[in-house]
Structure 1
Amino acid sequence: MIGTSDLAAAAAAASVPQIELNDGNRIPQVGLGVLRIDDDDVAPVVETALAIGYRHIDGAAGYNNEGGLGRAFAESGFNTEQKRGKLWVTTKLRDSEQGYDSALEAFDRQIGLLQLDYVDMYMIHWPTPFDWRSADTWKAFVKLRDEGRVKTLGVCNFLPEHLERLHQETGEWPAVNQIELHPTWQQRDVVAFCKEHGIAVEAYSPMARGADLNAGDGVIAKIASAHNVSPAQVILRWHIENGTIIIPKSVHTERLKQNLDLFGFALTLEEHAAIDALDGPKRAGHDPRTFSYS
């Protein structure tokens, strides 16, 4: 018998749009990010998110919690044949393990920790242009895709110059580019390049780790009050209306619910434009030209 909570989770999951990627796969537009959640703590957070209706989990080797993700998938049954196809799981390669052989070895370890037969998306975490190995890494990714162990190939933090170099050396554009993106750091040149080449844009730090909640001298709060929603929901709704994939992070049940509850209201054109106008010159995170998340 299906319980009320199961029906509510199914309804929440069904409310989230699916973004069609350039490889034909479809990714839920809202997911859960798990950066900076300890391995021992991440399983209950993910289990709660799955029970609420999340069907997209975004992890990485560099987060050091893939074992906890695997325990959550096993405990919730989302690694079984019956439920696996209903969940999108992303993970990322450590920068220190880029390269052909090293990437294949790393993936074997990662998929074991995740307790899965395949992952939906495997990503290069940073372009590391000062130690460029993305082309060799991509060849390993293609092998994994050909074997059915990975469905979609993506990158993170790639600027147009990195995307062009990858395409020149491999003949492929990634399906997704996950970048720092929020109202005060909109990266319009990167977004435009991605759209021109059929690459879906995915935002991490979609609220600048909370800093953008207070951006614009009360603009966000005023819009939130008009719609009887939270400031976080306003920013996430702005992303949704831009067609951006988002992976907000929270460990709190009520915030997890709010971050998924974005489809009962819409911004007016004026409200959307007011958030567009918050764009600024400073990122909250790291510069892809110089950073490695080893």
Structure 2
Amino acid sequence: MYNDIKLEKGLYNLSGKSFTAALEELDPSSAYAGTPLEKLDAFERQLKRFNIRISGQDCDCVEKFFSTTETAVLFPEFVTRCIRKGFDETVLRSVCAAKTVCASSQYLGCVLDDKAAYSTTAEATALPEATVREGAEATVLEKFGRLISASYEAIRQQRLDVFGVMLRSVGVRLAASVVKKAVDVLVEGVEPITTEALTYDDLAALYGEFDCFDMTTVIASPELASKIAAMEQLKDCAATPDGRLILPFGAELIKTSAAGADTVIGIDRDFALEFITSTDLVMETDKLIDRQLDQMTVSVTCGFRKITPEAVKVLTVEAGE
């Protein structure tokens, strides 16, 4: 049971396993089916075990994690989860068709050569061929990270929910730098259509560029996204409950500073981009457990690869003479 688990630093250092995965092996969630604890994972059960409240009116302060040597072991996972939540809340979820975990710093994916027309084939005639082959160029994974300086004395009396929001904001900013790389990969090699003044007709023209694929997502800079949102044709468009704006032809509008100031990108998110990573978010856990918080580092090593070039179209807004 979760009350009998021995928490120690070594749970963070098991090869190929996250802290939560290591806890789940010792305390499987499946054992709690039909009980009041069935909705909690192994980490959350440890928070309950030690009565550490990370949200709500009676939320604890950071120092609660350091009341015992065992509870201190839980603190790095709390920090990682907060940053990961901010990281995962970004536009990455709306632009990536697949996620690949790669053990190397370089990734060589497959390429689909499928240029022959899809049409009827006469009897006894060979079918048109689509070829899957190894890519010619490897995707080099890059490290994105942040150094967070905060002494234990500075944060010990900080409420955990407020400190968690600060950490989430780091995750959001970290993801924004990663999204910039994703956008660069999307637009690379794409011949854009052009316009001098962005109008709804231009968006419709971008939509019409897609043939077999659909335009599920429109990515634009904050300035261009605001112009799109202000268009007369969008006055009756309502945001979804989670705040996403859906254009009249069904595409989600994504606002990000990662997009060029003069560029609108249309993609079919189910086919366009592969997210490749060699690590989850990485933190120096020993320092956190030992309250050496002066230099907390968080990083992720990742890259992107375009899977289906035909699933990406670009509109460039050129200033008139």
Task: Bin the TM-score by the shorter chain.
Answer: under 0.3
Greater share of strand: 2
Q: Which entry has the higher C-alpha Rg, 1 or 2?
A: 2
With the length of structure 1 as denominator, give the TM-score of the two structures: 0.26
Greater percentage in helix: 1
Per chain length, whose mean CA-contact separation is higher, i.e. which structure has more relative contact order (CA < 8 Å, sep 6+)? Answer: 2
